[in-house]
């Protein structure tokens, strides 16, 4: 049975599955990597299927045209001499600007997937020229595709010191990535990894902290790498290691502050009145109860007057007795 290799982007998986079913209904075998996830073994299997297929079908969509893996797939197919059939499955493709490899054969418009589209597809598939025999030796296989996030990770993990311009450049690209819903989860992990570098400039660290606090959280249950093609993007990591998510916990957002309420000052008790007689410092060198020296002349005059009155009274009394 004739085998078709179907190259596509994960973003268009629903349309591609429908297309694969229609091709299978035409008694043609279709292979696409629905169950493969990534890594070198995944990529080796894809390249093997391209070598063994009879025809190479490319699902034309903006996402697949932007996918590094899709570009390497159709590039490898062309180097092997495979007949390539582009099938348009989504809007947004500028057909006049297709790469030369995909523009050699007139594409089939399968966006509506109606009877007319089905007949056009069947006619194109059954009239394709045969692929050329495999070259000997085989061309060098393309390397496993890595997303641009993988390139950022390699720069973040470099043991060499990063200058201020390099750090701000990385930060700018991570800002763009975390704003994309498809890349936000992996971009957040890379920001945490970036934040853990010992040579990070304080200004860059503050920007990362702010970004982690303000960036929207990734919806629960979302996994995979974005960049428009989750199927065709892998983050490289050392054997047995993934992206560390615990290198630095994201800073907690500052709690919302309540408007300050006016605080009543405690009432201060009025100072106790000090009796007037206690306000003057006590005179020193005079026994308690002794009359002050300033009052002594007045007392002496009073005593002398009293004595004179007493003497006069005695004289008067004596004269009266005679």
For residue 51, what pLDDT band results from cuts at 50, 70 and 90?
A: very high
Each residue of 171-180: pLDDT tens digit?
A: 998 998 888 8
Per CATH, domain 3-126 is 1.10.3720.10: no
Does the pLDDT at position 307 exceed 60? yes
Calculate the alpha carbon distances from 263 to 170, 191, 260 in Å. Answer: 48, 43, 9
Torsion over CA: 21, 23, 28, 31 (sign): negative
Does the pLDDT at position 222 exceed 50? no
Yes or no: say if 49 and 5 are a contact pair by the CB < 8 Å rule.
yes
For residue 115, give both structure tokens.
């009877």
Residue 59 φ then ψ, to 5°: -80, 105
Does the pLDDT at position 60 exceed 90? yes
What pTM was computed for the model? 0.55
Tell me how far apart the terminal alpha carbons of the chain are, to the nearest angstrom. 181
Does the pLDDT at position 248 exceed 60? no
Rounded to the nearest integer, the mean pLDDT of the chain is 77
Ranges 188-192, 206-210, 311-315: which has the least confidence: 311-315
For residue 249, give both structure tokens.
């916990």
Each residue of 66-102: pLDDT tens digit?
A: 888 999 999 999 999 999 999 999 999 998 999 999 9
pLDDT of residue 297: 55
pLDDT of residue 40: 80
Provide DSSP, 201-215.
Answer: -HHHHHHHHHHHHHS
Q: Which of the two residues, 243 and 132, has the higher pLDDT score?
A: 132
Each residue of 254-302: pLDDT tens digit?
A: 334 344 444 333 444 443 433 334 443 444 443 334 444 555 555 566 6
The structural domains of the chain, with segments of one domain joined by +, span: 3-126, 148-232
Provide DSSP, 27-46.
Answer: T-EEE--SS---SHHHHHHH
Is there a cis peptide before residue 137, judged by omega within 30 degrees of 0? yes
pLDDT of residue 36: 56
Q: Which of the two residues, 276 and 195, has the higher pLDDT score?
A: 195
Q: How far apart are CA 40 and CA 172, in angstroms?
A: 30
For residue 119, what pLDDT band results from cuts at 50, 70 and 90?
A: very high
- Closest by alpha carbon to 78, among 94, 108, 99, 109? 99
Q: At a CB cut-off of 8 Å and minimum separation 6, what does 239 contact?
A: none
């Amino acid at each position: 049975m004739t085998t078709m290799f179907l190259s596509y982007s994960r973003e268009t998986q629903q349309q591609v599955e429908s297309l694969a079913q229609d091709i299978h209904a035409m008694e043609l075998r279709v292979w696409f990597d629905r169950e493969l996830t990534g890594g070198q073994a995944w990529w080796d299997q894809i390249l093997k299927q391209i070598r063994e297929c009879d025809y190479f079908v490319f699902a034309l969509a903006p996402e697949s045209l932007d996918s590094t893996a899709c570009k390497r797939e159709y590039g490898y197919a062309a180097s092997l001499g495979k007949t390539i059939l582009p099938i348009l499955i989504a809007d947004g493709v500028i057909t006049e600007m297709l790469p030369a490899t995909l523009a050699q054969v007139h594409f089939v418009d399968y966006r509506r997937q109606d009877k007319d589209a089905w007949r056009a597809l069947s006619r194109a598939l059954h009239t394709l020229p045969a692929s050329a025999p495999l070259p000997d030796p085989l061309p060098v296989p393309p390397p496993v595709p890595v997303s641009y996030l993988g390139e950022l990770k390699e720069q973040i993990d470099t043991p060499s010191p990063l200058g201020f311009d390099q750090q701000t450049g990385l930060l700018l690209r991570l800002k763009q990535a975390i704003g994309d819903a498809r890349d936000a989860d992996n971009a957040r992990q890379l920001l945490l990894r970036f934040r853990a570098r010992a040579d990070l400039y304080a200004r860059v660290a503050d920007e990362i902290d702010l970004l982690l606090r303000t960036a929207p959280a990734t919806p629960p249950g979302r996994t995979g790498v974005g960049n428009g093609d989750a199927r065709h993007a892998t983050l490289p990591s050392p054997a047995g290691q993934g992206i560390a998510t615990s290198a630095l916990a994201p800073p907690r957002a500052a709690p919302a502050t309540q408007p300050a309420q006016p605080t009543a000052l405690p009432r201060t008790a009025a100072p106790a009145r000090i009796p007037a007689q206690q306000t003057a410092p006590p005179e020193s060198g005079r026994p308690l109860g002794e009359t002050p020296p300033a009052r002594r002349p007045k007392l002496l005059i009073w005593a002398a007057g009293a004595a004179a009155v007493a003497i006069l009274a005695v004289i008067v009394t004596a004269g009266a007795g005679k």
